[in-house]
Copies of this chain bind each other. A is one copy, B any other.
Amino acid sequence: MTRAELFAQIQKKSSFLCVGLDPDLAKIPAHLLSEPDPIFSFCKAIIEETADFAVAYKPNIAFFEALGAKGWETLKKVEELIPADIFTIADAKRGDIGNTSKLYAKAFFEQMNFDSVTVAPYMGADSVTPFLEFEDRWVILLALTSNAGSMDFQLIRDENGKPLYQSVLEKSKEWGSPENLMYVVGATRGELIGEVRKVAPAHFFLVPGVGAQGGSLAEVAKHGMNSHCGLLVNSSRGIIYASSGKDFARIARQEAVKLQAEMSVLLEQYL
């Protein structure tokens, strides 16, 4: 999917919502456990009820990988189920030397058909660029994450006072463009989103940490929105586990609607 196509979807749905698919056998409604593939049934119901309000889905690969080969089969089926006009993110945090990263890219872009993969920057250029060689596919590079551990290394300042995450932004802008490179920017540090926006004015940000992790949607939009919206705000647990009963998909829809309604107002305000 191109940036223009993604922006068109955002405008059409008045939404920049990404629904995170973290399907956990210990958390999904009990009545699904008798299905032949409970994880698939869960994701299918969530997707069907939220697709009108989401512009992206983000399966968290670990939740599938923990189930072994069967989990990978389920992941492929889930990816195939997502409507073609919705952006797909393989949240995999991959990254290795060049020939290995190329194989990870093939896993998600050829063996499956994801629009994008999240990638970790520690190993530098040749760990990231193989993913960028696939046409109309995206790298979503970790810049400033929303977890507690993000403070361990990402904020270390170099000899000129520049934090590591900023070096990651500046260096990686040489590898890709706003047409094939996004950044993960956590919402738990509202003011920092504005700092990241200064360094990367045109790129999309994938923003986790709204909701369960405490970030504010209004703050994110205020500091992060650009002329192409430039934001995909993810909600996982707040939507998919809003109810653990038989009504889980309907309640997930309600939560998606609430977020989309807020987003609609913010798009009016800032775009």
User: Is A224's CB within 8 Å of the partner chain B?
Assistant: no
User: Is A270's CB within 8 Å of the partner chain B?
Assistant: no
Is A62 within 8 A of B122, CB to CB? no
Is A148 within 8 A of B120, CB to CB? no
Is B168 within 8 A of A153, CB to CB? yes
Bound-state CA distance A98–B127 (Å) is 23
Q: At the interface with chain B, which of A80-88, A154-162, A246-254, A256-264?
A: A154-162
Bound-state CA distance A63–B111 (Å) is 12
Whether A68 touches B122, Cβ cut-off 8 Å, given contacts A157-B159, A168-B153, is no
Whether A97 touches B145, Cβ cut-off 8 Å, given contacts A73-B69, A107-B66, is yes
CB distance from A113 to the nearest CB of B (A): 12
- Identical copies of this chain, number: 2
CB distance from A54 to the nearest CB of B (A): 20
User: Is A150's CB within 8 Å of the partner chain B?
Assistant: yes
> From A98, which residue of chain B is reached at the shortest CB distance?
B147
Most chain B CB neighbours (cut-off 10 Å) among A63, A100, A171: A100
Residues of B within 8 A of A120 (CB): 93, 95, 120, 122-123
Please count how many residues in chain A sit with their CB below 8 Å of the partner chain's CB atoms: 58
Residues of B within 8 A of A63 (CB): 100, 103
Known: A66-B107, A69-B73. 20 other contacts (CB 8 A): A60-B96, A62-B94, A62-B96, A63-B100, A66-B103, A68-B111, A93-B94, A93-B95, A93-B96, A97-B146, A120-B120, A120-B123, A123-B142, A123-B149, A125-B149, A126-B148, A128-B149, A152-B171, A153-B168, A153-B171
Interface CB pairs A-B, < 8 A, 11:
A66-B106, A66-B111, A69-B69, A97-B145, A97-B146, A121-B122, A123-B147, A123-B149, A127-B149, A153-B171, A159-B159
Taking Cβ atoms with an 8 Å cutoff, the residues of A that contact B are 22, 60, 62-63, 65-73, 76, 91, 93-98, 100-101, 103-104, 106-107, 111-112, 120-128, 142, 145-154, 156-159, 161, 164, 167-168, 171
